[in-house]
């Protein structure tokens, strides 16, 4: 993908390290896993991960479930996910990666039985500070706080928070809510509930990534899905301008953890399990692979953007509107990228894939929907118009492909899934 021989050289380097639990170099007879639900949680670096999945899907001609028009670019969040929220022209899907409130049973209705579930969490202090700033003019809880002050909110959150109010999920235990849990458990029951909930999440999700260890998490993701290093290259998405970010004191961190106690316990639990999984791979081997990933990333940037990272810009400064990130309000700036003038001249990657690397979620979702609708219509035309009568078929999206099968933990079989896309080398 990057340049001829690139893939071989990094697999050989890993191999030379004598990393016993790392994948052997892939041969043309091995396959990549393609059926994935990535639960896109809020303010956790999830747009960067989503972009990886979007590009993988495009390169491999896979189907990404996208929301029906009235759901916007999310699956009618914050309503609990329903299979009815999926655009019929994106059925049956291989990949689900847009924001939704998790319901395993509803996802099982549309996904194959060998689907791998993955999500990402972020340290609650940094995450809440990001939520508070991003949804400051949007979520009523935050709008009530004098001068939009995080300090004032944390001093007395109950003065501003109404559990039943629209958008209250951005103001307390957002991770728990996104995962389908109860964000407002009575405090006497929080510890017991958080333990039980973490066990449930662990049963369903084969990998819970941690934003603070993003590259290490990608190493685990790559192994879990038997993907190539080139498949997990990325450029950070959806960042705030440094001027929109606040610093947290130790006291504020403590208050945020207390207010978001279930999220904090989930984070601690899955941070520990991430490191257990990394230890199983071997920390030296993981470090080596992270280094290779970063080197490949630099190569990709050189190849795509003529040397330097595309310049970080405020939305107003970005000339190409396909690359302008959505802005939540005038009080917070989300930065995006502008393509350098000399972009992708000597590229080993296609110009389109370079552009997609920095394309924000909303525009990329629209483009994918458009492409998939065209594909769906041409398949429908081939099946129903060109075939002799008596062989007419329903468009594939109009029927539910998979039945619900209560199985053993996907985590238990996570490293032994059927692989479905041929390796590139």
Site stretch for ligand PPS (CB under 6 A), options 177-185, 234-242, 262-270, 309-317: 234-242
Judged by beta carbon, residue 49 or residue 304, the one nearer ligand PPS is 49
Q: Which two tokens stand for residue 350?
A: 């296609």
Judged by beta carbon, residue 214 or residue 259, the one nearer ligand PPS is 214
Q: Which residues in the 42-61 window bind ligand PPS by CB under 6 A?
A: 42-48
Applying CB under 6 A, the site for ligand PPS has a residue count of 15
Judged by beta carbon, residue 201 or residue 421, the one nearer ligand PPS is 201
CB of 322 to ligand PPS, least distance (A): 18
Minimal CB distance to ligand PPS: which residue?
Answer: 47
CB of 214 to ligand PPS, least distance (A): 4
Per CB under 6 A, does 211 bind ligand PPS?
yes
Site stretch for ligand PPS (CB under 6 A), options 15-23, 177-185, 237-245, 399-407: 237-245
My answer on whether omega of the bond before 92 falls inside 30° of 0, hence cis, is yes
CB of 380 to ligand PPS, least distance (A): 33
Judged by beta carbon, residue 174 or residue 226, the one nearer ligand PPS is 174
How far apart CA 151 and CA 242 sit, in angstroms, is 19
- Cα dihedral angle (79, 82, 85, 91), rounded to 10 degrees? 150
Judged by beta carbon, residue 44 or residue 417, the one nearer ligand PPS is 44
What is the separation, in whole angstroms, between the first and last Cα of the chain? 9
CB of 48 to ligand PPS, least distance (A): 4
My answer on whether omega of the bond before 78 falls inside 30° of 0, hence cis, is yes
Site stretch for ligand PPS (CB under 6 A), options 41-49, 62-70, 161-169, 301-309: 41-49
Q: Which residues in the 257-276 window bind ligand PPS by CB under 6 A?
A: none
CB of 88 to ligand PPS, least distance (A): 25
Beta-strand (E) ranges in 22-137? 31-32, 36-39, 64-65, 95-96, 116-121
- Burial label for 248, CB within 10 Å (0-12, 13-18, 19+), is middle
For residue 329, give the DSSP letter. B
Q: Which of 400, 401, 328 is nearest to 360 (CA)?
A: 328
Q: Which listed residue (168, 237, 252, 372) binds ligand PPS by CB under 6 A? A: 237
CB of 82 to ligand PPS, least distance (A): 21
The answer for residues whose C-beta is within 8 angstroms of residue 167's C-beta and 6 or more apart is 78, 135, 138, 139, 140, 141
For residue 36, give the DSSP letter. E
Range 368-400 burial, b when 16+ CB lie within 10 A, else e? bbeebeeebeeebeeeeeeeeeeeeeeebbeee
Site mask, ligand PPS, residues 128-147, x = CB under 6 A? --x-----------------
The residues that touch ligand PPS, with contacts defined as CB under 6 A, are: 42-48, 130, 211, 214, 236-240
């Amino acid at each position: 993908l990057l340049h001829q021989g690139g893939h071989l050289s990094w697999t050989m380097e890993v191999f030379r390290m004598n990393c016993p639990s790392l994948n052997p170099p892939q041969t043309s007879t091995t396959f990549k896993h393609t059926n994935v639900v990535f639960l896109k949680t809020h303010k956790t670096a999830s747009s960067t991960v989503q972009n990886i999945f979007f590009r993988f899907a495009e390169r491999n001609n896979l189907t990404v479930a996208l929301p029906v028009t009235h759901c916007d670019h999310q699956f009618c969040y914050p309503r609990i996910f329903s299979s009815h929220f999926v655009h019929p022209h994106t059925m049956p899907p291989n990949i689900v990666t847009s924001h939704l409130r998790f319901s395993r049973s509803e996802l099982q209705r549309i996904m194959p039985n060998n689907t791998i579930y993955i999500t990402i969490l972020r340290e609650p202090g940094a995450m809440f500070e990001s939520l508070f700033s991003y949804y400051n003019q949007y979520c009523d809880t935050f709008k009530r706080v004098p001068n939009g002050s995080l300090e004032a909110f944390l001093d007395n959150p109950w003065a501003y928070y109404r559990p039943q109010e629209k958008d209250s999920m951005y103001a307390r235990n957002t991770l728990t809510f996104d995962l389908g849990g109860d964000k407002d458990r009575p405090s006497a029951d929080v510890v017991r509930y958080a333990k039980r909930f973490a066990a449930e999440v662990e049963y369903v999700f084969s990998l819970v990534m941690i934003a603070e260890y993003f590259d290490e998490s990608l190493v685990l993701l790559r192994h879990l899905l038997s993907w190539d290093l080139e498949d997990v290259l990325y450029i950070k998405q959806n960042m705030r301008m440094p001027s929109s970010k606040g610093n947290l004191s130790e006291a504020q961190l403590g208050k945020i953890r207390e207010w978001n106690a279930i999220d904090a316990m989930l984070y601690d639990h899955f941070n520990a399990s991430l490191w257990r999984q990394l230890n199983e791979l071997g920390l030296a081997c993981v470090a080596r692979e992270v280094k290779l990933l970063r080197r490949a990333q630099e190569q990709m940037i050189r190849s795509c953007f003529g040397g330097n990272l595309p310049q970080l810009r405020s939305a107003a400064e970005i000339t190409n509107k396909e690359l302008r990130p959505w802005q939540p309000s005038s009080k917070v700036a989300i930065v995006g990228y502008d393509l350098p003038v000399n972009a992708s001249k000597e590229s080993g990657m296609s110009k389109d894939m370079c552009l997609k690397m920095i394309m924000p979620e909303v525009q990329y979702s629209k483009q994918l929907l458009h492409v998939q609708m065209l594909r769906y219509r041409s398949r429908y035309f081939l099946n129903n118009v060109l075939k002799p009568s008596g062989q007419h078929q329903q468009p594939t999206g109009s029927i539910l492909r998979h039945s619900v099968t209560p199985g053993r933990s996907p985590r238990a079989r996570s490293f032994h899934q059927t692989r479905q896309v041929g390796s590139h080398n």
